[in-house]
Structure 1
Amino acid sequence: MKEPNLTDYAKLYQQFDWQYVRSQLAGLPNGKGLNIAHEAVDRHASGDLRNKVALRFHRKKENVEDYTYGDLKTQTSKFANLLHGLKLKEGDRVFSLLGRVPDLYIAALGSLKFKAVFCPLFSVFGPEPIFQRLSKGDAKVLVTNTSFYEKKIKGLLNRLPSLDFILLTDSSDDLDMKALSLTKLMEEASGEFIIPSTDPEDPALLHFTSGTTGMPKGALHVHQAVLTHFATGKYVLDFQKGDIFWCTADPGWVTGTSYGIISPLVNGVTSIIDEEEFDALRWYSILEKQKVNVWYTAPTAIRRLMRMEIVPKEKYDLSNLRLVLSVGEPLHPGAVSWGQKAFGVPVLDNWWQTETGGIMIANYRSMEVKPGSMGKPLPGIIAAIADVEEAEIKIYDQPENQGHLVLKKGFPSLFRGYLHEEERYKKCFKGNWYISGDLAKIDKDGYFWFIGRADDIIKTSGHMVGPFEVESTLMKHPAVVEAAVIGKPEPSIGELVKAFVVLKEGFEPTDDMRQELIGFARKTMGPAVAPKEISFIESLPKTKSGKILRRLLKARELGLPEGDLSTLEKG
């Protein structure tokens, strides 16, 4: 077993310097700055790793498709050149709506080469969530397939005046002046591209995250974030020379971009990508056949595996597996212990957010694991527990105090803004601290423990769902006058989305109406984010100012204390 990259946490944490991390990356030739695609692809393709497999795709029919670092350099250069041919400008937004197929990864890295801003969307989204993100993100180009174009995009075009081109991955010919054949454009493009001068602060990635008080917010990250991707790959994921890595997350989620694309490539390892959704036996087979060393997955998947009567290490040869990691929501202690028994290695939890761009707090291979704990901050990250309610932030200096989890500004991957929402962005900070919105505590040994969320974000099957987004969709149905949405604990998926609906006069709260509304939401939003339960209610609890008290609905649903009702509107 190879020695961990991080052997002495305390020493590294004390001595850590982001400039040293920067010195381990190449930078663009002739001092022209720092570009994610150069660090992830071109510098390897120009050296000893040119013929090493960078991405290995397991397609739906189980055939395997390999791309070496050399292949990636050529293909991503072609994509960058075709963006130039379409007369895009640096900073323009390129979106993708695809499953985990090669075109998505080539588009992501090619966009970064060109210095466009790349934004991946979940392929399970329905038309309305897609419209909200394309519109708010000022999308210039969308990369998708013919089926998604016909079913989800075509009807939106008259509402998306800034969307200049749709690039179709599976069409050999252009459909019209706007819907173009990506295959044709790639064939015509040159495989040589010189990455332009890139300031580390140039925008690179856009990821939407849902909020409870408004529509999805677009978190903007810069090319300098690659320092965090590199450092966390080395110290948390413990990438070693020759490693085979597998991140199961979809790039529509920030984990699938930061750790499904960038981090493994920057660290020069081979990354496995499975086009299919969760399938336990298929997953175990891939772990065995591909001799995966490091596996990064989600609590939802781990819980589903736990329900099966299989001890994987007894049925499959998992002797190459060195590390299993999890992210998305807190991993309960039983799952950590189960991982030790099932795989022969513990499942290491870690914590971060769309806004932080990379792992901030983690359990490490070389450190004692306290099952259920988030772990300790990444070297280079200053995390604390604080009271954020007063004019000035108050940092708790004693262990076991519960409060807001805050991070000190200054690390490379911290988001640089919410697109078009400067005031919303400013509210995330107080002084030199970023307020995460999560509640936590620190024990006497410096381990962080997640307590709960300070807002109403729902985490379901690895997806982040904002109540407002679901409520807005339900209220488009002619029978609905009001709606409120909460997350209801469901062990298999974390939380399920539950809606409370007030019907308009003349509509009856029947089982048929309930199924109609669920079907309406699934069709509009996609099954991943639509409510799975609906209860009819005569009126929603609100404050005097008109704010819906979702916490009160949740308390009543779960039989918990209702808390302070002094602001409740009487009615």
Structure 2
Amino acid sequence: MISKAIEKPKGGWAVAPNLIDYEKVCAGYSWDAAQRELDGLPGGRGLNIAHEAIDRHAAGALRNHLALRWIAKSGEIRDFSYADLRLLTNRFANLLRRLGLSKAERVFALAGRIPELYISALGTLKNGNVFCPLFSAFGPEPIRQRIGIGDGRVLLTTVALYKRKIAGIRASLPGLRHVLLVGSPEEIRAIPNTEDFGQLMNEASDDFEIPQTDPEDLALLHFTSGTTGKPKGAMHVHQAVVAHHVTGRLALDFHPGDIFWCTADPGWITGTSYGIIAPLTNGITSIIDEAEFDAERWYALLQKQKVTVWYTAPTAVRMMMKIGTEVIRKYDLRHLRFIASVGEPLNPEAVVWGQEAFGLPIHDNWWQTETGGIMISNFAAMDIRPGSMGRPLPGIEAGIVRRREDGTIEEIREAGVEGELALRPGWPSMFRGYLNEEERYRKCFAGGWYLTGDLARRDGDGYFWFVGRADDVIKSSGHLIGPFEVESTLLEHPAVAEAGVIGKPDPMAGEIVKAFVSLKPAFVASDELRSELLGFARKRLGAVVAPKEIDFIANVPKTRSGKIMRRLLKARELGLPEGDTSTLESQ
């Protein structure tokens, strides 16, 4: 255990943590009271995420407060006050009206961490449209699937990404009416059927009134992968802002005047919920770094920008651990008060390493795309048990359950017993469905619980501990990857007869994608063919999703009904017991 008595001498709690008396706050917690911390739209016209994140601050004392500081790869800095963001997001909302978008139509964004992405996200929400971020490292096929499933009407992207990933699939997306490009006017004019984001923004008005917004109006569409079938579009509503706001204050310990850095890409839900919404609703300053991970750049940024709260990922922590602590000593990080991590379970040694490297433990927390916000956390004032997810947020009831043989759900109350992690429905950021897949959504709930699909246990003091996933979804460097998506792409290669994909444990990424391939009779396994398949998958899927390893096998194990037995593939790969193989196609 890491007692917070260790932490206090560094900063002496220059600001007291927001959640000191956990039991007392939980006992009297109310989501209705939490919503009253926000303003709501003027005149009682509802609740809108963009109003809570920007306009209410721009109309008050925080008007000129720094909201976003963007740092380009080159080191160039662009600052945006809350007043600046209000005008720019007003312009984007007016731009969407000019394009004729109706309420709830979808706006997709495929871009790295650039200002235009953040402006378009918030402007989309202002206009009553639905914001759908895409990870910029995706290949063309995952992008095509998601825009198609989401029925995207507008896509914001850059010239470079359009040429590499959109041009070849544009004809297969007839519903995509407008593509807005960020880049030089000369480049954009040379690309047919696209529009200049900068020009349209310059022509748009600064004045915009957010229309009436019901708290249950659809606001965000985040895609998450499943073990079978196509990606799932998890739907979140404007009321989710209540949880974004509160969890920023309670789980990430936001205080007025904080300088916050979330390293996550907005293509994933962490980069939206906590890279965009939560810091802005809390009226603090967010740092946005366009560049990818580089330890020395990161430490220099922490020092120069005087970051106080830092939210990052276990993969980055492990990479920093590999480099060692000596390089950190060159930097003055005395302003750093709180470090948190999310994306996959944080190894116990990483929690302890944070204490050694920064004088602060790294606080793990747990949540999912479907939960919309942090559900279980190691809080600033709470002792840390390295390797634990922490304890549930106020307002969240978490439990460990098992399915009985008759399909009913039984809660496991004994400490230390493994089961499925479950949550009582009703928190504001709970997803409201999978787009166009009502049955798939209903299967997530049983016995009065939302079933997370994660296996966990709870100790006698109420701390939760992650055990593993109940399904086959691969978690690599914090990214959820559906094996079916990878298998489907490999099957498009003329040499591949069957493919099965698993997550293979990796000390840096948590898991890497590994594929097992059986070949058609006319083809022979070779290193050359393996390299060809790796390159084929990487080109189609992108580096994050594509397999890192491929093995050739005679047959991919399947059940008699044709379902790939990924569990068996994984057991054989890791030398584990194969378990029940009674349903195997051939023994």
CA distance, structure 1, for counterparts of residue 401 and residue 165 of structure 2: 44
1:68 aligns with 2:81: yes
TM-score, normalised with respect to structure 2: 0.96
Deviation at 1:153, TM superposition (A): 0.9
1:282 aligns with 2:301: no
String of CA shifts for 1:399-432, please: whole Å, max 9, x gaps: 1111010000110000001011111011101132
CA distance, structure 1, for counterparts of residue 28 and residue 412 of structure 2: 24
- Given that residues 398 and 422 in structure 2 are in contact (C-alpha distance below 8 angstroms), is that contact kept between their aligned partners in structure 1? yes
Q: In the alignment, what sits opposite 1:38?
A: 51
* Residues 120-135 of structure 1 aligned to structure 2 (within 5 Å): 120-135=133-148
Q: In the alignment, what sits opposite 2:268?
A: 253
CA distance, structure 2, for counterparts of residue 86 and residue 265 of structure 1: 27
Q: In the alignment, what sits opposite 1:458?
A: 474
Q: In the alignment, what sits opposite 2:26?
A: 13
- Given that residues 171 and 182 in structure 1 are in contact (C-alpha distance below 8 angstroms), is that contact kept between their aligned partners in structure 2? no
Give the aligned residue type for 2:88: Q
Q: In the alignment, what sits opposite 2:8?
A: none
Give the aligned residue type for 2:127: F
CA distance, structure 1, for counterparts of residue 110 and residue 163 of structure 2: 13
String of CA shifts for 1:277-324, please: whole Å, max 9, x gaps: 100000000000000000000000000000013345522111011110
Q: Secondary structure at the match of 2:584?
A: coil
- Given that residues 175 and 181 in structure 1 are in contact (C-alpha distance below 8 angstroms), is that contact kept between their aligned partners in structure 2? no
Give the aligned residue type for 1:23: R
TM-score, normalised with respect to structure 1: 0.99
Deviation at 1:219, TM superposition (A): 0.3
1:270 aligns with 2:282: no
CA distance, structure 1, for counterparts of residue 168 and residue 467 of structure 2: 43
- Given that residues 252 and 309 in structure 2 are in contact (C-alpha distance below 8 angstroms), is that contact kept between their aligned partners in structure 1? yes
Q: In the alignment, what sits opposite 1:308?
A: 323
String of CA shifts for 1:177-213, please: whole Å, max 9, x gaps: 7311111100000011100000000000000000001
Q: In the alignment, what sits opposite 1:447?
A: 463
2:492 to 476, 481, 486: 476
Deviation at 1:119, TM superposition (A): 0.5
Q: In the alignment, what sits opposite 1:381?
A: 396
Q: In the alignment, what sits opposite 1:508?
A: 524
Deviation at 1:158, TM superposition (A): 1.6
2:533 to 505, 517, 520: 517
CA distance, structure 2, for counterparts of residue 187 and residue 259 of structure 1: 29
Q: Secondary structure at the match of 1:478?
A: coil
1:114 aligns with 2:127: yes
1:55 aligns with 2:71: no
String of CA shifts for 1:254-295, please: whole Å, max 9, x gaps: 000000000000000000011011000000000000000000
2:203 to 188, 192, 195: 188
Q: In the alignment, what sits opposite 1:344?
A: 359
Aligned length: 571
Q: Secondary structure at the match of 2:569?
A: helix
Q: In the alignment, what sits opposite 1:147?
A: 160
1:240 aligns with 2:216: no
CA distance, structure 2, for counterparts of residue 318 and residue 366 of structure 1: 20
1:531 aligns with 2:571: no
Q: In the alignment, what sits opposite 1:293?
A: 308
Q: Secondary structure at the match of 1:245?
A: strand
- Given that residues 164 and 178 in structure 1 are in contact (C-alpha distance below 8 angstroms), is that contact kept between their aligned partners in structure 2? no
CA distance, structure 2, for counterparts of residue 388 and residue 214 of structure 1: 24
Structure 2 unaligned spans of 5+: 1-13
1:409 to 399, 404, 425: 425
Q: In the alignment, what sits opposite 2:4?
A: none
- Given that residues 399 and 442 in structure 1 are in contact (C-alpha distance below 8 angstroms), is that contact kept between their aligned partners in structure 2? yes
String of CA shifts for 1:449-488, please: whole Å, max 9, x gaps: 0011000111112211110000001011111111000010
CA distance, structure 2, for counterparts of residue 424 and residue 418 of structure 1: 7
Q: In the alignment, what sits opposite 1:567?
A: 583
CA distance, structure 2, for counterparts of residue 407 and residue 454 of structure 1: 15
Deviation at 1:174, TM superposition (A): 5.0
Deviation at 1:154, TM superposition (A): 1.5
CA distance, structure 2, for counterparts of residue 117 and residue 432 of structure 1: 29
Q: In the alignment, what sits opposite 1:26?
A: 39
Q: Secondary structure at the match of 1:329?
A: coil
Aligned sequence identity (%):
61
- Given that residues 299 and 328 in structure 2 are in contact (C-alpha distance below 8 angstroms), is that contact kept between their aligned partners in structure 1? no
